[in-house]
Structure 1
């Protein structure tokens, strides 16, 4: 199975999901699943974005080497069996531009159509919010993979 996580800039949510899933696959010696991430605006300027999530993942022993931003495009449907967006924005973008439906992360996780939100960098709780986001993805991966496997 080939899984692609999609977010806006391919810098935070989809990247965290990608590396958390890769970490889980390595922990479980699962070589039958490939995972990557892409963004609907992966060429955007991210110079003002926080990179604290990379430090958090590294502290949790989640390997983030090999990170690169990838623009979502039509070829993603040829390369990946499952495309998972983080919010309605991503789902609507794919539907509008490619006339295809994708799943939302929380739909796969728990059947809810709610988005995976990210805290605002100016928030006084941003560091804690980002740590909770990484933990959320890390804990979700066994369930996400199980749910995807039972659908196929």
Structure 2
């Protein structure tokens, strides 16, 4: 009898929701945990080319911790496509304006750069405060 390695399919993934509180969590450690859960690496049926991950809700994004001098030195860049259209913003200013984006950018950089990565990124929900509209999904609370 031959033994085969089982390759998971989309139907094998159960829709599970997880809630993570970012209060006092270090950005990089939080982002790696979230990216790993979105990919499904904590699932024994993990298959790299299949979405086996969970939907992740991150609350208290405004209370994230950054180590060292990152608040002043780390910068995010974007370009409009026009000459001289390079814009930059520090993490400190971005945390004041849109704290959710700091976590989104960190997690997006850890996901695959293909259609699967785009699909996984849509399963990430980030909120600056305690409240979130996903109570009906009964998310499991995860401690970091």
Q: Aligning the two structures, in what range does the TM-score lie when normalised by the shorter sequence?
A: 0.3 to 0.5
Higher strand share: 2
Larger Rg: 2
Q: Which has the higher contact order (CA 8 A, sep 6+)?
A: 2
TM-score (norm 1): 0.33
